[in-house]
Amino acid sequence: MHYRKLGTTEAEVSEIGFGAWGIGGKQWQGGRDDESLRALKRSFELGVNFVDTALAYGDGHSEQLVGQALRASYHNVYVATKIPPKNRIWPASSSTPISEVFPYDYIIQCTEESLRNLKLEQIYLQQFHVWTDAWTQTEEWQRAIEVLKRSGKVRYFGISISEHEPDSALQAIRTGAITAVQVIYNIFDQSAEKNLFPLCQQMRVGVLARVPLDEGGLTGAINENTKFEPGEFRDTYFREDRKRQVREHVDALQRDLKDVPGTLPQIALRFCLSNKAVTTVIPGMRRIQTVEDNCRAAAAGMLDARTLAILKRHTWDRNFYQ
């Protein structure tokens, strides 16, 4: 495992982080808690020292499992979690006042609930789970940050940027109050490279690359015959003819990558890590085999310039979250 500095913090975090949405259950079917705990343990054994969870993942269940795994481990692991929007609306709307989404008391309350779930005294990286820069000049969110940091309940704060809107937190980054951002970045969506990544490098803000495998689209396993459990998030994400679209784009991608060693998921993870602005990539992991495969991607290092040039041609402008 290789490690990178998280912004201006003292932390050297693993290039592969553990994305813990899937282990929360509810929106992701087919997982088991015992299997999730084994996957977490195996990731720690392989050098993963960064876990990203959220209060909204299974209404705290993901946080509880992460906390359980940490108590059984002797590894120094940095935990990031998130405060859900009070109105439970993703993504954020610039027309919604922050008082309806992140009021001061609610930020404090959610942080304390996450601490109880994780059974930790301090959250290393607390994040707002949605954002719009229409809120940047308001005072309450910055006051809550300072109070939580002074109390020792939170070490650093960050923002999880809304889906396919990498420019929606640029002003917040410029305030200096944000230590890290979490943003969708993968072969299909490379839009963060234009404005967000250069600003993060300038401000020395860490970058957590999320959805590196396009919710499974970049595994190569999605086609017209793929079935998801009713109620599972991906049953909506890949609805109607979207599976066909994904399969066609992935087929074209794999034809262009036929001479590149490694599986498609490993190449997709290496694509993210080949950008120096990225601190860590946080694929969802629920099984030991997935953990081991993903960690091999980090061991393989960055992609060469020729492969990156090929991948640049495979950007795909669409939003399956809508």
Q: Tell me if 121 is assigned to some domain.
A: yes
More confidently predicted of 320 and 312: 312
Please state the domain count of the chain.
1
Percent of the chain with pLDDT over 70: 97
CA dihedral over 7, 215, 270, 162, signed as positive or negative: negative
Percent of the chain with pLDDT over 90: 79
**91 upstream amide cis, omega within 30 of 0:** yes
Is pLDDT above 80 for 304? yes
Is pLDDT above 60 for 30? no
Tell me the average pLDDT across 279-295: 93
Q: Tell me if 317 is assigned to some domain.
A: no
Instruction: Specify the CATH number for the domain of residue 301.
Output: 3.20.20.100
Q: Tell me if 306 is assigned to some domain.
A: yes
Q: Where would I find the beta strands (DSSP E) of the chain?
A: 3-5, 12-14, 18-19, 50-52, 78-83, 123-128, 154-160, 180-184, 206-210, 280-281
Tell me the average pLDDT across 156-182: 95
Question: Do 190 and 318 contact (CB within 8 A), yes or no?
Answer: no
* 123 exposure class (CB count in 10 Å sphere: 0-12, 13-18, 19+): buried
Q: Tell me if 321 is assigned to some domain.
A: no
CA 134, CA 172: separation in Å to the nearest integer?
Answer: 9
Helix, strand, coil distribution of the chain in percent, nearest 5: 40, 15, 45
Tell me the average pLDDT across 96-117: 96
Is pLDDT above 90 for 230? no
* 192 exposure class (CB count in 10 Å sphere: 0-12, 13-18, 19+): buried
Question: Do 283 and 48 contact (CB within 8 A), yes or no?
Answer: no
Q: Which domain holds residue 111?
A: 3-312
CA 96, CA 93: separation in Å to the nearest integer?
Answer: 5
Task: Tell me the two tokens of residue 243.
Answer: 């599976």
Q: What is the pLDDT of residue 218?
A: 95
Q: Where would I find the beta strands (DSSP E) of 231-316?
A: 280-281
Mapped onto helix, strand or coil, the DSSP state of residue 306 is helix
Give the confidence band of 136 by pLDDT, cuts at 50, 70, 90: very high
Within 8 A by CB and 6+ apart from 44, the residues are 69, 73, 75, 77
Q: What is the pLDDT of residue 129?
A: 95
CA 256, CA 314: separation in Å to the nearest integer?
Answer: 10
Q: What is the pLDDT of residue 38?
A: 92
Maximum Cα–Cα distance for the chain, whole Å?
Answer: 55
Q: What is the pLDDT of residue 28?
A: 52
Q: Tell me if 97 is assigned to some domain.
A: yes
CA 39, CA 23: separation in Å to the nearest integer?
Answer: 10
Q: Tell me if 178 is assigned to some domain.
A: yes
CA 21, CA 232: separation in Å to the nearest integer?
Answer: 12
Give the confidence band of 26 by pLDDT, cuts at 50, 70, 90: low
Q: What is the pLDDT of residue 27?
A: 56
Mean per-residue pLDDT of the chain: 93
Q: Cα dist. 123→152, 158, 184 in Å?
A: 9, 12, 23
Q: Tell me if 45 is assigned to some domain.
A: yes
CA 200, CA 303: separation in Å to the nearest integer?
Answer: 22
CA dihedral over 54, 284, 241, 190, signed as positive or negative: positive
Q: Tell me if 15 is assigned to some domain.
A: yes
What are the φ and ψ backbone dihedral angles of 201, each rounded to 5 degrees?
Answer: -65, -40
pLDDT, tens digit (0-9, with 9 covering 90-100), for 181-197: 999 999 999 999 999 99
Is pLDDT above 70 for 292? yes
Question: Do 92 and 132 contact (CB within 8 A), yes or no?
Answer: yes
Tell me the average pLDDT across 107-130: 96
